[in-house]
Structure 1
């Protein structure tokens, strides 16, 4: 996923104490939150303010989320989500995320999230417009956004 000729969009977050379970590692359900937070930053990077989609009578709804855990993350770790587009269908698209621990680049988890594009005014799915398809396909290579407060 980290080919030098097409680096992924990257988003960093810091694991908070309350996100850890009794074993002292990130509780599995928190990864859905991590995916959501990272994808929101990705969508904002691609399309600007989320309201921009809504103003076009477009919105996205999750239809599938799968997470595969590879190694534990702990309190105060900085995780880096790397995001690229996966399958782009007629009305749906999948984003692939890989979570690495910043500092040692250890793969912690990967996830695939599939959205369907809807038209909120009629609450029905709709075809992905060409301009949005192109933005999703192109992605945001090399962009880094951090909410972690880590040292450069």
Structure 2
């Protein structure tokens, strides 16, 4: 199940050449993650209430072109892989139809700092298209 988040590029997100500083792509992926979890019927507060605390295990970024001040970025979030205790989400950042960056983030389900398997109903929600 895909989700989407969009925002104008703010001046503060850019370097002196007007190009977005690389760390902001991770921020945008994090913003889009809220929409992705909710699209799966798993709002963050509901997971935490069940003692399921997804934490970031890893993130990778692959750039194609730069977003710039004045652009509007759109981030498409899609499930890439669901494991026993983890899920990897692909965040595609673009300006219009122009691809800027792909962020892949792997989240691990934890309880009190230890990895736990996804409960069956959560796994079913994560694998639903």
Fold equivalence (TM over 0.5) = yes
Counterpart among 9, 13, 21 of residue 15 in structure 2: 21
* Residues 110-121 of structure 1 mapped to structure 2, 5 A cutoff: 110-119=102-111
C-alpha deviation, 1:77, in angstroms: 1.0
Match of 1:108 in 2: 100
SS of the equivalent of 1:84 reads strand
Match of 1:129 in 2: 119
C-alpha deviation, 1:95, in angstroms: 0.3
SS of the equivalent of 2:125 reads helix
SS of the equivalent of 1:73 reads coil
Deviations for 1:110-133, whole angstroms, at most 9, x for unmatched residues? 1100010011xx321100112111
- Indicate conservation of the 8 Å contact 1:47/1:53, yes or no: no
Q: TM-score, normalised by structure 1?
A: 0.79
Q: TM-score, normalised by structure 2?
A: 0.92
C-alpha deviation, 1:48, in angstroms: 5.0
Deviations for 1:54-100, whole angstroms, at most 9, x for unmatched residues? 11111110010001110111112111111111111111110011111
Question: Alignment RMSD, CA only?
Answer: 1.5
Match of 2:93 in 1: 99
- The structure 1 segments of at least 4 consecutive aligned residues displaced by more than 6 Å after TM superposition are none
Count of residue pairs brought into register by the alignment: 129
Stretches of structure 1 lacking an aligned partner (at least 5 in a row): 1-5, 140-152
Stretches of structure 2 lacking an aligned partner (at least 5 in a row): none
Q: Which has the larger share of strand? A: 2
CA change 1:48–1:95 in 2 (3 A) is closer
